[in-house]
Amino acid sequence: MTTPNVIDLLREATVAVRANDKVRTRLLLLEATKLDPRNETAWQWLAGVAESPTEALHALESILAVNPNNEKAKTAIGPVRLQAGVAAAKAKDPATARRLLRAVIAADPRSETAWVWLASVAESPTEALAHLGRALEINPESAPAKRGVLHYRAKIEAAQREEQACSNPLGDAPTVDAAKVDTAIVPRMPKKPSLAPAKPTLGTVLVVDDSRTIRKLVSMTMTGAGFEVVEAEDGSSALDRIREIGVPHLILLDVAMPGMDGYEVCRLVRRNPDTQKVPVIMLTGKDGFFDKIRGRLAGTNAYLSKPLQPDALLQAVRKHCPADRT
C-alpha cells in the first residue's frame, strides 16, 4: 500500500470539506502537518477546523514560525489567543490563562476583555483590582469590570476584618463611617506603623524584583549602609508587604516583572493616599528615552540601570531617602 503524501492528504481534505465532514478534514490535516511540519497551507486549514482555541492557536503559531510575514495568521492570532486564554480560565488552568492573556495584552494593551479575564486568574485580589482598573480605563461602563471591582473589594474588606478580629479577639468591633469608605478602584491600604527594628536605622526600603540575586544584592548593600530592607518578588507581593509592615520610606522597583510590571505597581502606589508620596526608584535593564517617559508618567522619582552598582545605588537612595528627613 502506497503511503499518502502531503498533496494527496490535502486533496482528500478538500473533498472532506466539500462533504462538510469536519472530523475527517481535521484528521487528514493533522496527518499532513505531521508529514510536513512546515506546510503553511495544512496548518492554515487546520486552524479553521480545530477542535479548540488552543489547537487553533498552535496551528497559527506554527504558521508564523515558518513564515512570520503570513498576514492571515498575524491577523487571526490575536483573537484566537484571547479565546484560548478565556478557555483556560474557564477550565481552571490559571497559569496557562495568565500566560496567554498577558500575551494578548502585550500585543493590544486596550483589550478590555483580556484585562477582565486576567483579573479572574490574578494571584491576589489587589492584582485583580489593578487589572479591572485597566479595563475601566478603556471602558468606564464595562459591566463585568464593575462587578469584578465590587467582588474583589468585598474579598479584601473581609480579609481585613478577619485580620482585625485575629489581632484583637476580645475588643469591640470598630465603627465604620460610611462617608469615609474609599471609592477608588485601588483599595486604600490601612495605615500601620513602620517596622520597629531592634536598633535605629536610616529608614525602611522595600525592594521589589523577581530576581532573588538582585534582591539579595540590594539587601546586603542597604543593610550594610544602615537601612532596614523588606523584600518582595513581584508587584502583588509588594502591595501585600506594605499592608503588613506599613508604608516604607522608599521603594526600589524592578520594571520587568511577571503579572504587574513596575510601571503598573508605581501607578498603584501613586493612586493610594497613604503611599502617594513614597519615593520610587525604578531598576531596569532599559534606560531609553521612551522607558524614562513611561516611568515619569507612572510617577517614578529616578531610574537605576542594571547591572546595579552599589555606590550608585546608595547615592540614589540617600538622595531620595535622606537621613535628616523630617
* Three-state secondary structure string covering 71-96: HHHHHHHHHHHHHHHHHHHHCCCHHH
Structure-derived torsion over alpha carbons of residues 10, 14, 15, 20, reported in degrees to the nearest 10: 130
- Determine the Cα–Cα distance for residues 267 and 275; give it in Å rounded to an integer: 11
Q: Is 145 exposed, middle or buried (0-12, 13-18, 19+ CB in 10 A)?
A: buried
pLDDT given for residue 291 in this prediction: 66
Look at residue 245 and tell me whether its pLDDT is greater than 90.
Answer: no
User: What is the pLDDT confidence band of residue 243, given thresholds at 50, 70 and 90?
Assistant: confident
Please state, as a whole number, how many other Cβ atoms lie within 10 Å of the Cβ of residue 174: 9
For residue range 128-160, what is the model confidence (pLDDT) as tens digits? Answer: 888 898 899 899 888 989 998 898 888 888 877
Q: What percent of the chain is predicted at pLDDT more than 90?
A: 27
pLDDT given for residue 86 in this prediction: 92
- Determine the Cα–Cα distance for residues 153 and 238; give it in Å rounded to an integer: 18
For residue range 174-232, what is the model confidence (pLDDT) as tens digits? Answer: 444 433 333 333 444 444 444 444 455 788 999 999 888 889 999 999 998 999 999 99
How far CA 187 is from CA of 86, 128, 182, 247, 275, in Å, comes to 26, 11, 7, 15, 12
pLDDT given for residue 190 in this prediction: 44
Structure-derived torsion over alpha carbons of residues 197, 199, 205, 208, reported in degrees to the nearest 10: -60
Q: Please give the mean pLDDT across all residues of the chain.
A: 82
pTM above 0.75, yes or no: no
pLDDT given for residue 316 in this prediction: 92
pLDDT given for residue 290 in this prediction: 60
pLDDT given for residue 278 in this prediction: 94
How are the residues of the chain apportioned to helix, strand and coil, as percentages rounded to the nearest 5?
A: 60, 5, 35
b/e code 86-117 from CB counts within 10 Å (16+ = b): bbbbeeebeebbbbbbbbbbeeeeebbbbbbb
Phi, psi at 251, each rounded to 5°: -120, 125
